[in-house]
Structure 1
Amino acid sequence: MAYVRSAGLRGVRSVIVELGGDADDLARRCALPAGALDDDEILVQDLAIGLLLETAAVELRCPDLGLRVAQRQDLSLLGPVAVAIRNARTTTDALEMTSKYLFFHARSLEITIVPDPEGRQDVLGIRFGYRDDAVPLPPQSVDMVLLFLHRALVQLVGADYGLLSIELPNPLNADRHRYQTLFGAPATPSTGAAILRVPSVLLGRAISGGDQTAQLLALQYLEQHSPPRGQSYSERVRAVLQRSLDTGTSSLGEVAEVLSVSTRTLQRHLTAENTSFSAIRDEVRRDVAARLLATTEIPLFQIASALALDDVTTFSQYARRWWGITAREFRSSRKPSIDPG
């Protein structure tokens, strides 16, 4: 059992009322706490939300109920996570922050980037699910969250972001045309996972209109409200850099500000852990570069930007120091070989 912020129930009351149902009675029968349909900050059992959506869909004879609810939701339901995402510089930054901080909204759920379930090298998957793969997702919840993710991506980068198809772990709740209309892409049922299939070039795509100061404030808030993790300072610095290099949050002072400590205090703790800020930043840059080169076709200049490096020439100098070869050579060496037979 896990708990979710009641913000995830936005739109449920209005949809139920439009269908002629009694939202309060349904909520009571599904063991939702009083006020959960109208207050964003009540902790609600995820099973209760799933039960409410499934029960309402059956009793009100509305198989697309989850899809209807998602049409009344937007990024703002994620609270401070939404502020950080809206002010990201790239889709990579936004997705990594979503994955990192989804705990603020739902601590048992995650959104991750996975290889294309159909095996295409130029496609990746944005997967939604429980941290424990063995826990099944309620079908109406799958519809609601996947459409919410799709609408969030449209809001961030535009309707042409390239959605190829939707993978559902369950049979279709509505007819195929309904999914095609709402997502602009076909839905494939009973695949075993809830995934949006998108072109790999979506990673690294610029998001316009961001405010670095607003994002920094949101990150500070999220860090301060993170659950206790017992992390060392080097681990905390690494985590901040991994999600925010390309926002410009890559200096000692900026990272110290996110962690709510002075630069001197941060340096002292890192020295005690036998490392330094510059060493950790170099390791993070190397690891991020290796992942993007090996798993995407993002142009080198975009990867340089994601590493908070000035240009491709500087990136090439780093690549030679890290691996003894150029970034292009490293990318080529990581591509799977094709068996001619």
Structure 2
Amino acid sequence: MERDIVRAGALTGYRRVVRELGGAPATLLAEHGLSDEMLDDPDCFIPYTGLMKLLEASAVRLGCSDLGLRIAAKQSMSTLGMMSVALRNAPDIRAAIKATSRSLYLHAPGLSVNMAPEFQKGREIVTYELSLQSAPRAVQTMELTMGLAVRITRMLAQRDDVITGVQFMHKPAATRVSYRRHLKLTPTFETNAYAIIIPRKGLEYSIAGANSEILAIFDSLLGLHSPNSGQSFDGQIDAVMTRLIRSGVAGLQDAADAIGLHPRALQRRLAERGTSFEAVRDAVRRRLAESYLAQKSIPLAHVAQLLCCADQTVLTRHCRRWFNMTPGSFRRHANENGG
């Protein structure tokens, strides 16, 4: 699937902010191959790298270092188009983040969202990652992205304390006062990921007016129109399981929901291919384990959690079966051999 695209809705508020700053949005858009007509149709896809270049150039031209944050302040749930249906109807914040991970390709195929627990700190890190090759400078784009993520998460929870931190990979682009005004907190900079931090209790905040039936229908349609639909079924289920495990879930029902099938139908299709859900999940876990165990900075107990294992003992059993050695032995072997 083409990744260098994004819905024009991502620029909702751009023209208004530029005018407020005394600029000419039509001129800036034209300089980057965009137009008012494109922005008038929020479901029109435009080049993602074009959006990035536009925002960086506009910030410089207008002398506005917090341009991305200002645009985010003009946006709302409707900015996300169809995927907002999933967010509004998720039962709680945890489910809304998982729905975001499943459906973000509808808005920005080149952006991915994943959730990782920090159990000792009692919180979860929700990361936002660009998956474009040779992406241009994107400070304003990522500040817009993170500003909107903060805004929407608080809208869903109807309380500000659902988010306790924001992380940026870049150095501060604007003043501390500007960040606090827009985000209602002081973010940290030069981190290893773009992320929002949600306390464990925040994930359980319920979403008012959520309708589970609407969410189920949306997920079914999502499976039918998944970007993986052009892949082989084997590739599709592998991609889904990888995404689910990274998101902290690994059950048959979760996979079936994500792929748009009834659990029995999913098992039946896998059986026709001589495999099973358990075998696919095991293969994905093994592949992810090889990656996580090779990273000395990740504690083994955390690796177990990232792989959705009940505890470190379960991880040890898996590793003995997969690699004929313990997790610690595999880590030493991988690092001794440059893994």
CA deviations on 1:187-207 (whole Å, 9 max, x unpaired) are 223334322223233334433
Q: How far is the alpha carbon of 1:176 from its aligned partner? A: 0.5
CA deviations on 1:257-295 (whole Å, 9 max, x unpaired) are 944xx8986665344235678x79x99xxxxxxxxxx76
CA distance in 2, matches of 1:167, 1:243: 19
After superposition, the Cα gap between the structure-2 partners of 1:59 and 1:231, relative to the gap in structure 1 and judged at 3 Å, is same
Q: Which residue of structure 2 aligns with residue 307 of structure 1?
A: none
- Structure 1 letter corresponding to 2:24: D
Q: Which residue of structure 1 aligns with residue 98 of structure 2?
A: 96
* Contact 1:234-1:270 within 8 A present in 2 as well: no
CA deviations on 1:38-78 (whole Å, 9 max, x unpaired) are 21122211111111111221212222211111011112222
Normalising by structure 2, we get a TM-score of 0.70
- The answer to whether structure 1 residue 83 and structure 2 residue 116 are counterparts is no
Q: Which residue of structure 1 aligns with residue 152 of structure 2?
A: 152
- Structure 1 residues without counterparts, runs of 5 or longer: 284-293, 296-318, 324-341
* Contact 1:96-1:243 within 8 A present in 2 as well: no
> Does the residue aligned with 1:79 lie in a helix, a strand or coil?
helix
Q: Which residue of structure 2 aligns with residue 61 of structure 1?
A: 63
CA deviations on 1:196-242 (whole Å, 9 max, x unpaired) are 22323333443332111211222222222212232248669969998
Q: Which residue of structure 2 aligns with residue 210 of structure 1?
A: 210
Q: How far is the alpha carbon of 1:6 from its aligned partner? A: 1.0
CA deviations on 1:124-176 (whole Å, 9 max, x unpaired) are 32221213698565111121111100011111112233422322222222211
| Higher helix proportion | 2
Q: Which residue of structure 2 aligns with residue 179 of structure 1?
A: 179
> Does the residue aligned with 1:198 lie in a helix, a strand or coil?
strand
- Structure 2 letter corresponding to 1:141: T
- Structure 2 letter corresponding to 1:49: L
After superposition, the Cα gap between the structure-2 partners of 1:269 and 1:197, relative to the gap in structure 1 and judged at 3 Å, is closer
Q: How far is the alpha carbon of 1:4 from its aligned partner? A: 1.0
After superposition, the Cα gap between the structure-2 partners of 1:225 and 1:184, relative to the gap in structure 1 and judged at 3 Å, is same
Q: Which residue of structure 1 aligns with residue 125 of structure 2?
A: 125
Q: What CA RMSD, in Å, does the superposition of the two structures yield over aligned residues?
A: 4.4
What aligned pairs does 1:127-142 form with structure 2 within 5 A after superposition? 127-131=127-131, 135=135, 138-142=138-142
- Structure 2 letter corresponding to 1:181: R
CA deviations on 1:88-121 (whole Å, 9 max, x unpaired) are 11222211121122111111211122466xx963
CA distance in 1, matches of 2:246, 2:82: 15
Q: Which residue of structure 1 aligns with residue 110 of structure 2?
A: 108
- Structure 2 letter corresponding to 1:208: A
Normalising by structure 1, we get a TM-score of 0.70
Q: How many residues align?
A: 295
The farther-off stretch of 44-53 and 227-236 is 227-236
Between the aligned residues of both structures, percent identity stands at 29
* Contact 1:146-1:196 within 8 A present in 2 as well: yes
